[in-house]
Structure 1
Amino acid sequence: MLKSFPNLDNFIFILFKLGQGGFGVFAKIFYMKVDYIKFQIFKSVYQAHRLEVGVVAAKVVNNDDFQAGEWDTAGILNNDPDQVSPFFVRSILYRKFEYYTVILMEFANLGSVQNLVEQRKTLPIPIVRTIMLQILNGIQYIHSKGIIHKDIKPSNILMHSPPGCGRVILKITDFGEAVIKQDNLNPPYVNVAGTDVYMPPEEIFAFGTGQFFADEKIDVWSAGIVFYQILTHTFPFKSTKIEDIKEFMSRQILERPDSIDNDILWNLIDRMLTFNPYFRVSANDALQHPFFTNEQATTEITDEQNELALKAQEAYQNGDLNVTQYETYPMFVFPLTEVQKIVGNVDPVQEDRDTKRIISEFQKSNEVKFDKN
């Protein structure tokens, strides 16, 4: 329901809540004037509108909780254009105020991979392959920039479908725990932080000291748990209690579930969930695994993936800057229809129309003048 605050010179209006997340309330809003934020819950993320950039995600954090490293990470990742890697959420700008900081980021219109996981539905192998391919490419790109994410999980992987294209792009978000490596020889000594069920053994067993030496293999383990969860609708440990997670990691036995009957896929999951990080596969090597590169992977590409890739190729050749080279490769194509089969009839085109209409109507009825500052 639309809410406005005309009694304030600077106001905010909310359409509806998207749900709860790690940063507090997620709400869908258009136009934010900063004076009102002091009345809101800190650590919140909103869908917002800003005149010069359009619809964005606005992350609002208490200054005490704002981590400058998150913006430093954004600066590194933003050095390359979208076409180089579309698989992470780009930060646009941030502004620090007296009590809080606002970070504007790309908006993703289909929620997160957590929405898929919660439905507990079996996905076709070609779609599983595409999901894994996009996420691993995002992780590989982040690692190539000397960044360790440290909190890869379904709710930190957003889904976005540019209206009318029929394709879904997965985007890694929330770099609040990310670490920037100073060099390639000495792994950083970092605090234990993140989400227990997605932490690797080297982090779980550092709970006592609170710190450990971290490298990129942390993110590979976390992604492996995400893929295991997508495939089995559960975790490889008895329960999500920390005691059971530690028991699983102490035994160092990863049992193959009956639901993963593809030998090549299981081999990749097993290599990502290797207990010793020294022997764990890297994101770059995982992308060279036969699950992605053998003849079977090519033959399993669906007709819809081929058709959507062909449309993307035409748009790309015609100079459409919203299309990246990845979307022209059928194996990378995640059809919107597959998301709709799982979460319902989401419609990015209609949502985009509704968004623009509501912004326009609200501006006209309230004679809003948007401030670019």
Structure 2
Amino acid sequence: MATKKRLELKLPISIPLRHHILMPMPLPLPPQENLKNSIKGLCDLEKVGVLGHGSQGSVYKVLHRRSSSYFALKVVRLDCDPSSTRQIMREVEIAKKINSPSIVKCEGVFEQGGNINFVLEYMDGGSLANLLKHKRRMTESCIAKIARQVLEGLKYLHSERIVHRDIKPSNLLIDRSSGVVKIADFGVSGIVSQSMDVSCNSYVGTCAYMSPERFDPDTYRGSCNGYEGDLWSLGLAMLECYLGHFPFLPPAQEPDWVTLMCAICFGDPPLVPPTASKEFQSFIKCCLQKNPRSRWTASELLHHPFLNPVLV
């Protein structure tokens, strides 16, 4: 009798879903603590105070209900002026781009009711300008700590081709508990493009801290790239910390545009008093060179002896 051929029947093997699914799988949820602290929208926030007002909007202290954490809410009004709208959109672009411990962190950007709302890291120590109003003058060691932190932020920004263009004491914010200083407010900042449209030929920012090439771009055309102006502003701010008043003017004198323009463009850079150390005098001189090509970069200034004292 002929034997029947045994059929070799194989059941289909169960294949895990991830091996044959064609669409990408969703990313895993973040850890619970991040999920708790994440800001989904403005409805998560409660206004608890006013931190300041400006020409284009206001800044509020807000409470994130789910995490009980405080943030700063910067509300900027959108208007019909194309240049103002471009400026705000540029700030949004930069806020999403930057990520540095030396710069105030942006936690989210939301549009509502014709306003752009920036949810920012809250710095409870206020600004360097407020500190100067109460303390008046600072020691060199304190100034060195501040300068190093700001330079770390500028080094990062410049490596990302971003020019701040408004470095001044009121835009340097302090954390009270740690003493950390961070750069804030990118409302007039710019990203350097191949056309260099945000270099010298950009009359924006606070004129008191503007560099000579920002006041008079025609004279310095072709000799600057925009980054140097941030270092001039830093030098003025640090000298102000030492003097207790704005360096180009006597104490208590209010600046006006003509006086500032003449002093910055046609006068000599302000001098550091002889009571200061040689290292601090040299540091300020490296920042306040009228020729932008002679100014030290942020990376170079981070290696200056004033910030790196030799221990004997």
The partner residue of 1:228 within 230, 239, 243 is: 239
* 3-state SS of paired residue (1:151): coil
Q: How does 1:273-352 map to 2 (within 5 A)?
A: 273-296=288-311
- State how many pairs are aligned: 255
Q: Is 1:176 the equivalent of 2:187? A: yes
Look up the match of 2:25.
Answer: none
Look up the match of 1:334.
Answer: none
- Are 2:167 and 2:230, in contact at CA under 8 Å, matched by a contact in 1? yes
- Are 1:113 and 1:157, in contact at CA under 8 Å, matched by a contact in 2? yes
The partner residue of 2:59 within 40, 45, 51 is: 45
CA offsets per residue over residues 59-87 of structure 1, 9 Å max, x none? Answer: 11112255111111122213xxxxxx311
How far apart are residue 13 of structure 1 and its match? Answer: 6.2
Look up the match of 1:267.
Answer: 282
One-letter code aligned to 2:164: H
Q: Which moved more, 1:148-157 or 1:119-128?
A: 119-128
One-letter code aligned to 1:100: N
Q: Distance in 2 between matches of 1:17 and 1:112?
A: 14
Q: Distance in 1 between matches of 2:303 and 2:114?
A: 47
Q: Distance in 2 between matches of 1:187 and 1:90?
A: 26
Q: Distance in 1 between matches of 2:45 and 2:97?
A: 31
- Are 1:89 and 1:106, in contact at CA under 8 Å, matched by a contact in 2? yes
Q: Distance in 1 between matches of 2:269 and 2:282?
A: 11
Q: Distance in 2 between matches of 1:199 and 1:58?
A: 27
How far apart are residue 244 of structure 1 and its match? Answer: 2.2
> Between the two proteins, what is the percent identity of the paired residues?
25
Q: Distance in 1 between matches of 2:289 and 2:60?
A: 37
- Are 1:158 and 1:173, in contact at CA under 8 Å, matched by a contact in 2? yes
Q: Distance in 2 between matches of 1:108 and 1:294?
A: 29
Residue segments in structure 1 that go unaligned for 5+ positions in a row: 1-9, 25-41, 79-84, 300-373
Look up the match of 2:128.
Answer: 113
Calculate the TM-score normalised by the size of structure 1: 0.62
* 3-state SS of paired residue (1:93): strand
Calculate the TM-score normalised by the size of structure 2: 0.73
Q: How does 1:12-91 map to 2 (within 5 A)?
A: 15-18=48-51, 20-21=52-53, 23=54, 43-51=57-65, 54-64=69-79, 65=84, 67-78=88-99, 85-91=100-106
The partner residue of 2:248 within 237, 240, 254 is: 237
* 3-state SS of paired residue (2:293): coil
Q: Distance in 1 between matches of 2:132 and 2:233?
A: 15
- Are 2:46 and 2:65, in contact at CA under 8 Å, matched by a contact in 1? no
* 3-state SS of paired residue (1:194): coil
Q: Distance in 2 between matches of 1:260 and 1:63?
A: 49
C-alpha change, 1:48 and 1:288, in structure 2 (3 Å) is same
How far apart are residue 94 of structure 1 and its match? Answer: 1.1
Q: Distance in 2 between matches of 1:15 and 1:259?
A: 47
- Structure having the higher Rg: 2
Q: Distance in 2 between matches of 1:140 and 1:11?
A: 34
The partner residue of 1:196 within 204, 207, 214 is: 207
Residue segments in structure 2 that go unaligned for 5+ positions in a row: 1-42
How far apart are residue 214 of structure 1 and its match? Answer: 4.8
CA offsets per residue over residues 312-368 of structure 1, 9 Å max, x none? Answer: xxxxxxxxxxxxxxxxxxxxxxxxxxxxxxxxxxxxxxxxxxxxxxxxxxxxxxxxx
Q: Distance in 2 between matches of 1:249 and 1:222?
A: 12
One-letter code aligned to 1:175: F
Q: Distance in 2 between matches of 1:260 and 1:272?
A: 19
Look up the match of 2:11.
Answer: none
Q: Distance in 1 between matches of 2:275 and 2:225?
A: 30
C-alpha change, 1:265 and 1:12, in structure 2 (3 Å) is closer
How far apart are residue 135 of structure 1 and its match? Answer: 1.2
Look up the match of 1:367.
Answer: none
How far apart are residue 196 of structure 1 and its match? Answer: 1.1
One-letter code aligned to 2:282: N
Q: Distance in 1 between matches of 2:105 and 2:218?
A: 32
Look up the match of 1:335.
Answer: none
* 3-state SS of paired residue (2:180): strand
Q: Distance in 1 between matches of 2:274 and 2:172?
A: 23
The partner residue of 2:228 within 205, 212, 217 is: 217
- Are 1:143 and 1:216, in contact at CA under 8 Å, matched by a contact in 2? yes
The partner residue of 2:140 within 125, 130, 134 is: 125
Across the aligned residues of Structure 1 and Structure 2, the Cα RMSD in angstroms comes to 2.8
Q: Distance in 2 between matches of 1:89 and 1:198?
A: 21
- Are 1:232 and 1:259, in contact at CA under 8 Å, matched by a contact in 2? no
